[in-house]
Amino acid sequence: MNTLSKELMEEFEEVFNEIQRNKAVKGAVLISSKPGSFVAGADIDMLKNAGGEAETTELSKNGQNLFNALEKSKKPFVAAINGVALGGGLELTLACQYRIATTDKSTNLGVPEVMLGLLPGAGGTQRLPHLVGVASALDMALTGKMIKPKKAKKMGLVHHLVEPLGIFLALFYPFLHKIYINFPQTITIPKVISYLLKFGAFEKNFFNKMIKGKVMKQTNGLFPAPLLIADVIREGVINGAEAGYKAEAEGFGKLSQTNESKSLIGLYDGQTHCKKNRFGNPAKPANSNLIIIIRNIAVLGAGLMGAGIVQVSIDKGYNVVLKDSFSPGLARGQEQIYKGFNTASKKKKMTTFERDAIMAKLDATLSYDALRNADMVIEAVFEDIDIKHKVVKETEAVIPEHCIFASNTSALPIGDIAKASKRPEKVIGMHYFSPVDKMQLLEIITTDTTSKDTVASAVQVGLKQGKLVIVVKDGPGFYTTRLLAPTLSEVIRMLQEGVGPQKIDKLATSFGFPVGIATLLDEVGIDVAVHVSEYLGGVFGERFAGGNVQVLKDLVARRKTGKGVYMYSDAKSKNRPVNDTATQIFKSFELEPVEAVSSDSDIQLRLISRFVNEAVMSLQEGILDNPLEGDIGAVFGLGFPPHLGGPFRYVDLHGAAPLVENMRRFEAAYGAAFTPCPLLLEHAKDSSKKFHS
């Protein structure tokens, strides 16, 4: 990936000046020699190490000045974009006189700074409105969305498109320069809104009501960047370039110091970490000369999870066997997989031919025979230890010796499952999240007997499937399920205390959870919640206490299709009615609320503090390897508020001491469930201790 680092910017400036001086040079083409990447954005480390607000504002100003000089250059600069042009990368092209992009699949344009809690700080907020109009500029800067080449041409972001040359690029570069220099042309697109903005009344309504209103609705006001981006764009449009650039640089400096930005950059680092295999490549097995490369995967069980795992595997080049015991179940799974790719082809993300070629990698079968060539088996059968044991035995009777056996379980200890195995060193947990094709996280679970090669191979497969991979130690509930259990337990207590599900949901979402926690109970499945609560409650005792599990049990017993805590008659209704039966059950288990810890903010803190405490405990106990993976697991698997950056970042930025203080209050009301763990106490005592360096 190309990034705009300090060194690169200095080098660019030198070359730029040389081009201006040298009379023989008539113009220049900016092109990347790396296929698939023009410039991916500013160097994140440079931003992190920039220092305080003043220094970061200065950094933005330097970028602005260089790009302004580029924009004013009398010799034309052509940006030849193949691959991603993001953030500072796109801003660089915006200052060029001409932009030409290939229609290659890898070509994407955007200003995703908002996702790092920042704003486009090198002229992006000022040049975009002129090029694509205020509405599109706001859309791009506020959402950070990627723009595909054809759309970019339509909206006026690039002047011209060229078809990619596929595999022959190396032969092509000399020729490319010629085409690019020969065919620039100017573009103008109608900017109705820019015109209307000249009228004060419209301007106020547009920015304050339409744009900021929308932002507030979508972010609950938890993210400062989008609001500031709207202000900075407004400044440039209304008060001119000078004011706009000033506002942009100052805004950039200001945002860089916010906790939200630090959290989001932390998540970015975490994602980078979780896209690498820290176990390296699988090594040669001692008794063989062959390096095992996983080519053939078999998935057992064609349910939602099984089919989802197949879906993220067959389009990555794996040959996949999908095995189920019953023909109707197998057919349902096949339909789910086909539907996923068919939808993609309808949205023009792939051709129907590509869809069919991908589906040709699938072998759906009712027989174990097809597992004969499997390099890895992932089981996604019913969550019952006896059934899992049966499947391990039946599978191992067929699979080759080198084959890995992975279990997709959300709570059963992998060590227990491995007890039925002849080759426990080949047994591992691969915990996917539903829906598998949408949820980015994969939690890999290793036992004491799992071999390093097995882990390395499993991580490799997960990464190839496009997952963010965290690797944790085996234990009850692993990492993610273990965090969820006390949180749900607290929700039940609240429901018993008479806090309505809608209120709980609203408090959770306004705190930054993407899904309300009461709704989450329905989404996880109440029967699953019962299973997890009873099992983990049994193992961990008092710390997991809270609401009465019997509430859930009654809910399961009296449950009807389409009803959980809420009624699901209309699939998408926003104001879903609460299930009356559920309300009755909560009533029958009524608890007296403790006034001192029942304010809105205390309800939020009760949810988050148990979650965070359990996360820190997982690190303390060595279930988690490092806090970075802990943050990624919590945010991408469980929907922990991203603007807080994950439980560990939250403690680092917001302090362990205030958290512990609040927990002590809750402890006084409810007991051991809120007792801070030793590691958290250590951090509370010494504020210089941080989880992230």
Partner 1 sequence: MSGTQYKNLMPHDLQREAIKGLLKRTGIPKDKLEYVVIGTVIQEGKTSNIAREAALGAGISDKTPAHTVTQACISSNQAMTTGFNMIASGQMDTVVAGGVDFMSDVPIRFNRKMRSLMLQMNKTKSTMGMLGHAAKVIGSPVRYLSPELPAIAEFSTDEVMGHSADRLAAAFGISRLAQDEYATRSHTLAKKATEEGKLSDVLEYKVPGVAEPVTSDNGIRITPMEKMAKMRAAFVKPHGTITAANSSFLSDGASAVLLMEEKKAKAMGLKPKAYLRNYTYMSQEPKDQLLLGPAYTTPTVLEKAGLTLNDIDVVEYHEAFAGQILANLAAMESDYFAQKHMNRPGKVGAPSMDKFNLWGGSLSIGHPFGATGCRLVTTCANRLKAEDGTYALLAACAAGGIGHAMIMERHPDY
Interface positions with partner 1 (CB under 8 A): 162-172, 174-175, 179, 182-183, 351, 353
| Smaller CB separation from partner 1, 149 or 639 | 149
User: Residue 317 burial (CB < 10 Å; 0-12/13-18/19+)?
Assistant: exposed
Residue 283, Ramachandran bin (φ over 0: left; ψ between -120 and 50: alpha; else beta)? beta
Question: 3-class secondary structure for 143-193?
Answer: HCCCECHHHHHHHCCCCEEECCCHHHHHHHHHHHHHHHHHCCCCCCCCCHH
- We find the least distance from the C-beta atom of residue 422 to partner 1, in angstroms, to be 43
How many residues does this entry show for the chain?
693
- We find the least distance from the C-beta atom of residue 162 to partner 1, in angstroms, to be 7
The token duo for 158 is: 């690039």
| Smaller CB separation from partner 1, 354 or 534 | 354
- We find the least distance from the C-beta atom of residue 632 to partner 1, in angstroms, to be 37
- 3-class SS of residue 387: helix
The Cα–Cα gap between 65 and 59 comes to 10
The token duo for 279 is: 């176990």
The Cα–Cα gap between 40 and 110 comes to 10
- We find the least distance from the C-beta atom of residue 256 to partner 1, in angstroms, to be 42
- We find the least distance from the C-beta atom of residue 169 to partner 1, in angstroms, to be 8
| Smaller CB separation from partner 1, 180 or 479 | 180
Residues 6+ apart with CB under 8 A from 108: 83, 84, 85, 86, 146, 147, 148
- We find the least distance from the C-beta atom of residue 163 to partner 1, in angstroms, to be 5
The token duo for 486 is: 């006390």
Cα torsion 333, 339, 344, 348: sign: positive
Asked if residues 624 and 632 have their Cβ atoms less than 8 Å apart, the reply is: no
| Smaller CB separation from partner 1, 104 or 375 | 104
Asked if residues 279 and 455 have their Cβ atoms less than 8 Å apart, the reply is: yes
Which of 45, 66, 162 is closest to 122 using CA atoms?
A: 66
Residues noted as catalytic: 443
Q: With residue 369 as reference, give the H or E element that holds it.
A: none
B/e letters for 637-662, b = 16+ CB within 10 Å, e = fewer, are: bbbbbbbbbbbbbbbbbeebbebbeb
| Smaller CB separation from partner 1, 173 or 382 | 173
| Smaller CB separation from partner 1, 355 or 402 | 355
Which of 165, 235, 155, 166 is closest to 191 using CA atoms?
A: 155
Beta-strand ranges (E) seen in 25-72 are 28-31, 37-39
Which of 39, 193, 194, 36 is closest to 111 using CA atoms?
A: 39
- We find the least distance from the C-beta atom of residue 170 to partner 1, in angstroms, to be 7
| Smaller CB separation from partner 1, 34 or 372 | 34
- We find the least distance from the C-beta atom of residue 148 to partner 1, in angstroms, to be 16
The Cα–Cα gap between 621 and 679 comes to 10
Residues 6+ apart with CB under 8 A from 343: none
| Smaller CB separation from partner 1, 1 or 179 | 179
The Cα–Cα gap between 217 and 340 comes to 30
Which of 418, 359, 409 is closest to 379 using CA atoms?
A: 409
DSSP 285: P
- Between 647-654 and 656-670, two packed helices, what is the crossing angle to 10 degrees? 110
| Smaller CB separation from partner 1, 182 or 688 | 182
Asked if residues 475 and 527 have their Cβ atoms less than 8 Å apart, the reply is: no
Residues 6+ apart with CB under 8 A from 571: none
- We find the least distance from the C-beta atom of residue 352 to partner 1, in angstroms, to be 9
| Smaller CB separation from partner 1, 19 or 165 | 165
| Smaller CB separation from partner 1, 164 or 477 | 164
The token duo for 312 is: 């993220």
| Smaller CB separation from partner 1, 164 or 306 | 164
Q: Which residue has the tokens 């759906």?
A: 364
CA 646 to chain centre: 12
- We find the least distance from the C-beta atom of residue 357 to partner 1, in angstroms, to be 8
| Smaller CB separation from partner 1, 170 or 290 | 170
The Cα–Cα gap between 181 and 178 comes to 5
- We find the least distance from the C-beta atom of residue 355 to partner 1, in angstroms, to be 11
- We find the least distance from the C-beta atom of residue 353 to partner 1, in angstroms, to be 4
Helices (H), 558-655: 580-588, 600-620, 627-638, 647-654
The token duo for 605 is: 């803190």
The token duo for 439 is: 């949820």
The token duo for 609 is: 């503090």
- We find the least distance from the C-beta atom of residue 181 to partner 1, in angstroms, to be 11
